[in-house]
Chains A and B, each alone.
With several copies, the nearest count.
Chain A
């Protein structure tokens, strides 16, 4: 975490996002939020609570229940000089907008050879472990990160949530800003009161270690840190990297770490097949294979269509700290 000398405040993720967006809207008239229930309701997770009173109906827009509309109208606003923050109520519900996001927002700069741009932020709560079942638990980062023209970020600490949201607002291109629902209230941390940005494309080594590199992001990153702590008791030092930015991906930090530890594990909650870990593993295999002393290991969600509802099944789906601890130990002992 970059040093900051000013005062800080402890916040959870929702507070950090709420406060940052609120301050940015005060700072810059062009910033507008739009989405389902962002107005009087303040968002179903309360991220825009109080915004309507402060900024009025012109800048806090309750849209109809039509995600293509949210993205498409957002694009129009961005083209005309606004900075829209479009909320997808759940990442799962961004798919009716898939065409607008991937074929329009992502390509307007390229297809107009720079004539038009889409400085838009699309916020979406994602991820499971919240009794959300098949349609309120999904991880969507791999789908969007595959699409050139988009940036995809997943802050996992309140500090990053603030810095990356400001970065997203300043970014001249569309940014998919994903918020893990389970971290909203679970994860707390000190957040500087001053304004700062966290650049995209820079992973963060949150726990240095020599025995094993573990790459993750979002909720899983916290599970990984916990598992790593457990192993530290046995003298196994796990280096835990928080990717933060899925695209651009900080391959350098990962490769450099793997070169030191010689072992790599990637942990993600999304379905394993063609999830983010596939790309990270492929990058390592292409650029650091001879540094490795053990096969690359991926721990990820099983190949079922998202998390079932029943507690027994939801538990079955999610990678958990116990499993991670075991798998890390196995890999370290390899």
Chain B
């Protein structure tokens, strides 16, 4: 391929970008493997896997400007959290529920990302509530004449909640600087998208007066491209967009789930063959950014880092029960 006509060059991405994106995808994957391992060892009671979603998350997150833009993710977004500034150690502090977990100091379940200094807004378990917060923050940015853009992520299951509808509607009415990304992995726990979404997710956008794109969420460059267009639109004051990224999760919904009750092995295998990581590696090879040796090197490096940081997190302290009353309110309120 001639220099300058590469897909990534057309998208304005440089070699450093691609290598960094690749490293984030690898890091997410190794975090996932490590957390599953810890779960099997009985050391982590609850795990939310990300594997399969790395391209969708890293690609979409990369379209935002870190330090300025705002992230309202959902629990699946481990890779996104890394891009937004979580270290693997942060991830594992959350996994174990340790005191220094940046999201909640061990108060929330793992994978409830949040950190003010990284512009990741605290998330909860009830699905899709963050979409309305994102709309509110986007309104605030607009009122302040800031050019920050807000992104919010959820699964295709999340689109069923009224909160998602409200966020779409409000974003459409006020042309908010908001990008709603839907990681459509075709299942909400066990419920197939055909029982979840009438019509289609991206097909909803038009009815709310905004563009709706859909694309291959296992192709990190496509995820980037579609989201970047939406972010640019938002930043230019042209309003909100919806981006649907088609993907698949490799494992069960969480460590409490068993996907064999509702997904055929063949289907899982078929999708694992579309694994976003080897696909990106193939691209990186094709543009001669890395070779097999470098891939192996980066894999080893990343794995080592993850394992080391997981071990550090494991040794960290649990929160002191005397702090359990803190931050119910700004000031302590006694109930007799």
Complex A–B touching at CB under 8 A: yes
Interface-lining segment among B115-123, B272-280, B305-313: B115-123
Cβ–Cβ contact A312 & B143, under 8 A:
no
Residues of B within 8 A of A40 (CB): 190, 261-262
Residues of A within 8 A of B188 (CB): 36, 64-65
- Minimum C-beta distance from B84 to chain A (A): 14
Is B125 an interface residue when CB atoms closer than 8 A count as contact?
yes
Cβ–Cβ contact B329 & A312, under 8 A:
no
Cβ–Cβ contact A311 & B97, under 8 A:
yes
Nearest A residue (CB) for B103 = A112
Cβ–Cβ contact A65 & B324, under 8 A:
no
Cβ–Cβ contact B160 & A69, under 8 A:
yes
Q: Quick one: which of A75, A151, A171 contacts B132, CB cutoff 8 A?
A: A75
Is A41 an interface residue when CB atoms closer than 8 A count as contact?
yes
Nearest B residue (CB) for A279 = B335
Cβ–Cβ contact B195 & A66, under 8 A:
no
Instruction: Give the distance in Å from the alpha carbon of A41 to the alpha carbon of B102 in the complex.
Output: 34
Cβ–Cβ contact A103 & B136, under 8 A:
no
Interface size class of B (residues with CB under 8 A): 35 or more
Residues of B within 8 A of A58 (CB): 143
- Minimum C-beta distance from B185 to chain A (A): 13
Given the interface pairs A77-B137, A79-B137, A303-B335, the reply to whether A135 lies near B125 with Cβ below 8 Å is yes
Residues of A within 8 A of B165 (CB): 66
Interface-lining segment among A17-25, A92-100, A215-223: A92-100
Q: Quick one: which of B124, B169, B195, B261 contacts A104, CB cutoff 8 A?
A: B124
Given the interface pairs A66-B161, A134-B124, A312-B320, the reply to whether A44 lies near B166 with Cβ below 8 Å is no
Given the interface pairs A76-B139, A112-B122, A315-B321, the reply to whether A65 lies near B104 with Cβ below 8 Å is no
Residues of B within 8 A of A78 (CB): 136
Is A305 an interface residue when CB atoms closer than 8 A count as contact?
yes
Residues of A within 8 A of B116 (CB): 112, 115-116
Residues of B within 8 A of A313 (CB): 97, 106-107, 318-319, 321, 324
Residues of B within 8 A of A149 (CB): 328-329
Residues of B within 8 A of A32 (CB): 143
Interface size class of A (residues with CB under 8 A): 35 or more
Q: Quick one: which of B122, B129, B141 contacts A100, CB cutoff 8 A?
A: B129
Residues of A within 8 A of B133 (CB): 72-73, 75-76, 79, 104
Given the interface pairs A103-B124, A136-B125, A313-B106, the reply to whether A151 lies near B329 with Cβ below 8 Å is yes
Nearest B residue (CB) for A99 = B126
Is A117 an interface residue when CB atoms closer than 8 A count as contact?
yes
Task: Give residues of chain B (165-211) contacting chain A, Cβ–Cβ below 8 Å.
Answer: 165-167, 169-170, 173, 188-191, 195-197
Interface string of A84-128 (1 = CB under 8 A from B): 100000001101100110011001111111111100000000000
Residues of B within 8 A of A39 (CB): 190-191, 262
Instruction: Give the distance in Å from the alpha carbon of A286 to the alpha carbon of B121 in the complex.
Output: 41
Cβ–Cβ contact B124 & A135, under 8 A:
yes
Interface string of A236-252 (1 = CB under 8 A from B): 00000000000111010
Given the interface pairs A63-B170, A65-B196, A100-B132, the reply to whether A110 lies near B107 with Cβ below 8 Å is yes
Residues of B within 8 A of A110 (CB): 107, 327-328
Is B17 an interface residue when CB atoms closer than 8 A count as contact?
no
Cβ–Cβ contact A116 & B114, under 8 A:
yes
Nearest A residue (CB) for B98 = A310
Interface string of A251-292 (1 = CB under 8 A from B): 100000000000000000000110000000001001100000
Nearest A residue (CB) for B122 = A112
Is A80 an interface residue when CB atoms closer than 8 A count as contact?
yes
Task: Give residues of chain B (192-235) contacting chain A, Cβ–Cβ below 8 Å.
Answer: 195-197
Given the interface pairs A40-B262, A72-B129, the reply to whether A312 lies near B321 with Cβ below 8 Å is yes
- Minimum C-beta distance from B98 to chain A (A): 7
Is B134 an interface residue when CB atoms closer than 8 A count as contact?
yes
Residues of B within 8 A of A73 (CB): 132-133, 135-136, 139, 170
Cβ–Cβ contact A113 & B104, under 8 A:
yes
Residues of A within 8 A of B135 (CB): 69, 72-73, 76
For B121, B173, B320, the residue with the greatest tally of chain A CB atoms inside 10 Å of its CB is: B121
Given the interface pairs A39-B191, A135-B126, the reply to whether A80 lies near B196 with Cβ below 8 Å is no
Q: Quick one: which of A84, A93, A201 contacts B333, CB cutoff 8 A?
A: A201
Residues of A within 8 A of B167 (CB): 69, 72
The 11 listed contacts between A and B (C-beta, < 8 Å) are: A40-B262, A41-B257, A69-B132, A69-B170, A71-B132, A72-B129, A96-B162, A110-B107, A117-B330, A173-B330, A313-B97
Top 7 nearest A-B pairs (CB, nearest first) are A76-B136, A72-B132, A135-B125, A41-B190, A310-B106, A113-B105, A80-B140
B interface, CB within 8 angstroms of A: 45-46, 70, 97-99, 102-110, 112, 114-116, 121-122, 124-129, 131-141, 143, 157-158, 160-163, 165-167, 169-170, 173, 188-191, 195-197, 256-257, 261-262, 318-321, 324-330, 333, 335-336
